[in-house]
Amino acid sequence: MFEEASGYCPKCAKCVSVTWKRDTKPKTAPVRFWDTIVGRVREIFRCKTCEGPFVKIEQIEEMKHCPKCGKESLKAKRTIMYD
């Protein structure tokens, strides 16, 4: 029923997200830009806490570098959970 955009807000220094109903648009329209590093269009949203910009993370595998120290120290690990 809802859409979500998550990312890292450098001003708040934490991971943030914004949500909106699936059939509507977010309160503030995202800015779209061509990212030459990954070769696709990315979206920038506004943090709902500080109103600062953050880039939407499409897949967890994109998080390779620590946003605080800048080192390539993060690894994605998929976990299957059963109910």
* Residue 72: per-residue pLDDT: 82
Q: Which pTM was predicted?
A: 0.76
* Residue 38: per-residue pLDDT: 81
> What is the SS3 assignment for 53?
strand
How far is the C-alpha of 18 from the C-alpha of 3, rounded, in Å? 8
Adjacency order of strands within the sheet including 40-46: 31-35, 40-46, 53-55
> What is the SS3 assignment for 55?
strand
Going from the C-alpha of 40 to that of each of 17, 32, 50, 73, 80, the distances in angstroms are 21, 10, 27, 24, 29
Q: Are 11 and 52 spatial neighbours (Cβ–Cβ below 8 Å)?
A: yes
pLDDT digits (tens, 9 = 90+) for 39-82: 889 999 999 899 999 999 888 777 788 888 888 877 777 778 77
pLDDT digits (tens, 9 = 90+) for 10-34: 999 998 999 998 888 887 788 999 9
How far is the C-alpha of 37 from the C-alpha of 27, rounded, in Å? 28
